[in-house]
C-alpha cells in the first residue's frame, strides 16, 4: 500500500517526531517502499494460525508483591534534563 | 605474540599459573586500544576502571587455580549495555550524557566473575543497522581490507565495534547483542566467532531495548572455546527479566568434545538464494564436507516459510521498537531539545525526538507506529505474528524429525565498503539479515564460525543453528567446523 503525504504526516504525528513539511514526500516514498516489501506476507496462508505471543512456551514467573527498593529519588532524577525540587520539570501542560 | 592477541582460554591458563598478571594483560590491551583509534571501535575508554578491576582480579587470582575463568580477562562492552557511571548511549544522540545509575545483569555477572572493562564499543544506533553506519559516533571500520586495496570496509552491524575490536586484538573478547543477526553478521564479516543464545538464556535487564521478543546478548570471541567460556559467565536466571529462563546452566566448554559422529545436520534448500555469490555456495559445500568428514549425517531439509522471515521481521521489530523507544521523550534522561517560548509538551516531545533519533531509527519508529495503528494492526502486525508462528513451526518440524543442527551461510556476501549502500533502498541493507533473522524469530541459538577467505582475501563465515537450549551441543558442532576449517588468518595491520 502506498503511503501518501497525509498519511506520512499523520504517522509522524503519532510517533511524536517532527518532520518538516518539505521532507514528507521523501519520507512517504521510503515508507511505501518498506511497506511494499511487507506485502509479501499476504501470500502466506495463515488460516487457523494463532499469532505468536511468546517465542518460548513458558509461564511467566510471579514474585511476592513486596517493595524491593526505594529511597532512590536522587538516582532516579540524576539523568533528568531538568529536575527541580525533587521532580522532573516539563513545559506547562495544563492551562 | 603480545598478550592482547591471546584467546580467553590462553589468558585464563596463564593468569591462573601466574605467568602474567591481569594488570599486565590489561595494559597490553589498553595499548592496543589506543593504537586502534582509526578503527573507531571503542567510543568510550575506561582505563581507570580497567586497571582497578585488573588489580582486584590479581588479588583474586593469586595462585588460585579455581579463580573464575573470566577473572582478569579484558573485554569491550557494546554501548547498548548499561554500565554504572559510564556513558551508555546505544550510539544515539538522544541518550547523550546518559550515565546509568545501575549495571546491566550481563555486565554485572561478567564483572562479578572478575572480567575487566576496557571501554564501550561502537554500534548502530539502537542496534538498528547492518553496517555500523547509523551510529552517532561515526562508522566503526573493519580491520580487514580487500587485497591490494585500502578502501575502508564495514565491520557489519549492529555489533560492528565489538567485531572490529575483537578481530583487531584490541580486547580478548566483547559483548554483542543480536535482534536479527547483529552478532553473527559482524562476526562473519571480521573472521571471528559470535553466538546468539536461545531467547531467554541471557538476561536482557539493563540492555537498552530494541525489539524485546527478539533481543538476546551473546559473546563475540576469537574462538569457539572462548565463546563457550564467556557464554558460561553471561547466562543464568535473572528475576529482573521475566523472560529469563530458570534452567540449569550447562558447562559449555566441557561439551567441546569434538565428537559429532551420528549427529544429523540439516541443509535447508530455501537458503540457496537466487543471485547468491558462487563463493558463498562453495563455502557452504566445504562446510558440509567438513561435518560429513567428522562423522555427521547430512540431510536435505525444507524450511518452507524462510522467504517470509524478513518481511515478518521488518513488521515485528519496528512495531516493538516504536513501543520501546516511546520512553525517549526528553523528560527523564538523555537529550531534550531547546524550546521556544510558548512551546507545549507535545512540541518538546516532537522536537526532542526529531533531533535525538537518526534517520534509520526515525524510519523504523514510524513503520512500527503505522503497522500498530488502528486499521492496520490486523493486516500487518497480527499477520506477521502468525507468519512468525509458521516460521517457528518449520524449525520444530525438522527438529522433531531428528535434525540436531542446521548449517547455512552466515551472510549473503563478504564485508562491503563503507558508504557503498548509502544510496541503496533500505530493503537492500535489510537483505544482509536474510540467513540470520529466522533464528531470532524462532528464538533459537545460532553461531557464526569463520570458515574461509573469498578471492579478495576477506573472511566468510557459516552459521549453525541449534535446538532450543542446546547451545552446548551447538558449540561442539561449531568447534568441529572451526577445527576442520582451520581458519587462522588475521587482518593485516594498517591502523
Q: What is the pLDDT of residues B121-177, one digit of tens each?
A: 999 999 999 999 999 999 999 999 999 999 999 999 999 999 999 999 999 999 999
In this prediction, residues B19-29 reach a mean pLDDT of 98
Gap between the Cα atoms of B324 and B341, Å rounded: 30
Residue B294 CB partners (closer than 8 Å, separation 6+): B258, B260, B261, B480, B484
Whether B393 has a pLDDT exceeding 70, the answer reads yes
Q: What are phi and psi of B158, to 5 degrees?
A: -85, -20
Establish if A13 belongs to a structural domain. Answer: yes
Establish if A54 belongs to a structural domain. Answer: no
pTM of the model: 0.97
Establish if A83 belongs to a structural domain. Answer: no
Establish if A95 belongs to a structural domain. Answer: no
Establish if A31 belongs to a structural domain. Answer: yes
Q: How far is A69 from chain B (nearest CA, A)?
A: 13
In this prediction, residues B47-73 reach a mean pLDDT of 95
Establish if A28 belongs to a structural domain. Answer: yes
Establish if A14 belongs to a structural domain. Answer: yes
- Residue B76: pLDDT band (50, 70, 90) is very high
E strand or H helix that includes residue B345: helix B345-356
Q: How far is A19 from chain B (nearest CA, A)?
A: 7
Query: Which of B311, B350, B383 is nearest residue A18 as measured by Cβ atoms?
Result: B350
Query: What is the total count of domains within chain A?
Result: 1
The residue ranges of every structural domain in chain B are 3-257+415-420+464-485
Order of strands across the sheet with B74-78?
Answer: B42-45, B116-121, B74-78, B173-178, B216-221, B193-196, B446-453, B459-466, B405-409, B264-268, B297-301
Q: What are phi and psi of B153, to 5 degrees?
A: -110, 160
Give A-chain residues touching B329 at CB under 8 angstroms. 16
The DSSP code for B202 is: B
**Annotated catalytic sites of B, by residue?**
78, 158, 182
Give B-chain residues touching A11 at CB under 8 angstroms. 366, 369-370, 373
Residue B473: count of CB within 10 angstroms of its CB: 19
Tell me the average pLDDT of chain B: 96
In contact, B244 and B238? CB cutoff 8 Å? yes
Torsion on CA atoms B475, B476, B480, B482, rounded to nearest 10: 20
pLDDT digits (tens, 9 = 90+) for A53-89: 999 877 878 889 999 889 999 999 999 999 999 999 9
The residue range of the domain holding A34 is 5-42
For residue B428, the model assigns a pLDDT of 82
- Whether residue B443 and residue A18 make contact (CB cut-off 8 A), yes or no, is no
For residue A23, the model assigns a pLDDT of 96
- Whether residue A12 and residue B366 make contact (CB cut-off 8 A), yes or no, is yes
pLDDT digits (tens, 9 = 90+) for B206-242: 999 999 999 999 999 999 999 999 999 999 999 999 9
Question: Which range has the worst mean pLDDT, B74-83, B266-275, B400-409?
Answer: B266-275
Whether B97 has a pLDDT exceeding 70, the answer reads yes
Measured CA angle at B102 (ends B99, B105), to 5 deg:
125
Gap between the Cα atoms of B165 and B192, Å rounded: 10
Q: Where does residue A26 rank: exposed (0-12), middle (13-18), buried (19+ CB within 10 A)?
A: exposed
Give A-chain residues touching B331 at CB under 8 angstroms. 80-81, 88, 90
pLDDT digits (tens, 9 = 90+) for B445-470: 999 999 999 999 999 999 999 999 99
pLDDT digits (tens, 9 = 90+) for B281-328: 999 999 999 999 999 999 999 999 999 999 999 999 999 999 999 999
Whether A92 has a pLDDT exceeding 90, the answer reads no
- B86, B353, B369, B470: which to substitute to probe chain A, counting the most A Cβ within 10 Å? B369
Establish if A68 belongs to a structural domain. Answer: no
Q: Among candidates B433, B436, B442, which has minimal Cα distance to B387?
A: B442
Nearest C-alpha in B relative to A13: B350
CATH of domain B3-257+415-420+464-485: 3.90.1300.10
Q: Among candidates B416, B398, B393, B422, which has minimal Cα distance to B408?
A: B398
- Count chain A–chain B contacts defined by CB atoms under 8 A: 167
For residue A1, the model assigns a pLDDT of 62
Amino acid at each position: 500500500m502506498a503511503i501518501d503525504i497525509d498519511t506520512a504526516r499523520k504517522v509522524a504525528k503519532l510517533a511524536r517526531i517532527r518532520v518538516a513539511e518539505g521532507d514528507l514526500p521523501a519520507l512517504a516514498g521510503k515508507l511505501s517502499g518498506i511497506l511494499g516489501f511487507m506485502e509479501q506476507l499476504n501470500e502466506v496462508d495463515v488460516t487457523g494460525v494463532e499469532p505468536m505471543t511468546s517465542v518460548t512456551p513458558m509461564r511467566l514467573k510471579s514474585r511476592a508483591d513486596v517493595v524491593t527498593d526505594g529511597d532512590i529519588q536522587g538516582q532516579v532524577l540524576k539523568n533528568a534534563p531538568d529536575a527541580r525540587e525533587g521532580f522532573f520539570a516539563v513545559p506547562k501542560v495544563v492551562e | 605474540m603480545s598478550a592482547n592477541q591471546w584467546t580467553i582460554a590462553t589468558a585464563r591458563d596463564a593468569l591462573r599459573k601466574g605467568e602474567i598478571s591481569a594488570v599486565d594483560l590489561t595494559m597490553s590491551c589498553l595499548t592496543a586500544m589506543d593504537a586502534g583509534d582509526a578503527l573507531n571501535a571503542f567510543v568510550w575508554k575506561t582505563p581507570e576502571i580497567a586497571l582497578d578491576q585488573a588489580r582486584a582480579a590479581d588479588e583474586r587470582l593469586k595462585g588460585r587455580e579455581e579463580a573464575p575463568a573470566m577473572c582478569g580477562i579484558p573485554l569491550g562492552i557494546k554501548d547498548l549495555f548499561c554500565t554504572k557511571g559510564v556513558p551508555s548511549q546505544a550510539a544515539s544522540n538522544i541518550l547523550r550524557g546518559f550515565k546509568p545509575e545501575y549495571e546491566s545483569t550481563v555486565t554485572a555477572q561478567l564483572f562479578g566473575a572478575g572480567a575487566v572493562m576496557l571501554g564501550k564499543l561502537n554500534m548502530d544506533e539502537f542496534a538498528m543497522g547492518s553496517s555500523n553506519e547509523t551510529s552517532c559516533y561515526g562508522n566503526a571500520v573493519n580491520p580487514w581490507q580487500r587485497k591490494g586495496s585500502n578502501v575502508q570496509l564495514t565491520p557489519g552491524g549492529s555489533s560492528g565495534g565489538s567485531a572490529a575490536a575483537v578481530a583487531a586484538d584490541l580486547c580478548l573478547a566483547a559483548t554483542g547483542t543480536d535482534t536479527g543477526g547483529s552478532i553473527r553478521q559482524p562476526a562473519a564479516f571480521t573472521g571471528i566467532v559470535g553466538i546468539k543464545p536461545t531467547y531467554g538464556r541471557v538476561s536482557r535487564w539493563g540492555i537498552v531495548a530494541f525489539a524485546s521478543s527478539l533481543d538476546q546478548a551473546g559473546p563475540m570471541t576469537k574462538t569457539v572455546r572462548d565463546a563457550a567460556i564467556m557464554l558460561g559467565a553471561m547466562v543464568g536466571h535473572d528475576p529482573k527479566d521475566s523472560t529469563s529462563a530458570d534452567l540449569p546452566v550447562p558447562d559449555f566448554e566441557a561439551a567441546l568434545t569434538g565428537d559429532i559422529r551420528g549427529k544429523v545436520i540439516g541443509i535447508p534448500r530455501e537458503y540457496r538464494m537466487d543471485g547468491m555469490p558462487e563463493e558463498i555456495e562453495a563455502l557452504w559445500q566445504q562446510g558440509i564436507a567438513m561435518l560429513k568428514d567428522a562423522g555427521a549425517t547430512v540431510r536435505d531439509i525444507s524450511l518452507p516459510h524462510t522467504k517470509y522471515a524478513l518481511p515478518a521481521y521488518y513488521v515485528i521489530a519496528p512495531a516493538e521498537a516504536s513501543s520501546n523507544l516511546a520512553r525517549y521523550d526528553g523528560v527523564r534522561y538523555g537529550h531534550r531539545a531547546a524550546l521556544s517560548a510558548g512551546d507545549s509538551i507535545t512540541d518538546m516531545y516532537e522536537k526532542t525526538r526529531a533531533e535525538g533519533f537518526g534517520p534509520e531509527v526515525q524510519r523504523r519508529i514510524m513503520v512500527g507506529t503505522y503497522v500498530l495503528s488502528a486499521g492496520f494492526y490486523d493486516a500487518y502486525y497480527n499477520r506477521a505474528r502468525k507468519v512468525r508462528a509458521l516460521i517457528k513451526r518449520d524449525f520444530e518440524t525438522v527438529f522433531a524429525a531428528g535434525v540436531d543442527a542446521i548449517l547455512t551461510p552466515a551472510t549473503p556476501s563478504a564485508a562491503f565498503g563503507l558508504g557503498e549502500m548509502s544510496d541503496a533502498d533500505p530493503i537492500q541493507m535489510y537483505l544482509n539479515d536474510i540467513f540470520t533473522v529466522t533464528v531470532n524469530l524462532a528464538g533459537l541459538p545460532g553461531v557464526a564460525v569463520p570458515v574461509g577467505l573469498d578471492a579478495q582475501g576477506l573472511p566468510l563465515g557459516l552459521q549453525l543453528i541449534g535446538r532450543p537450549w542446546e547451545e552446548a551441543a551447538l558449540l561442539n558442532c561449531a568447534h568441529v567446523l572451526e577445527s576442520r576449517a582451520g581458519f587462522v588468518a588475521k587482518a593485516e595491520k594498517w591502523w
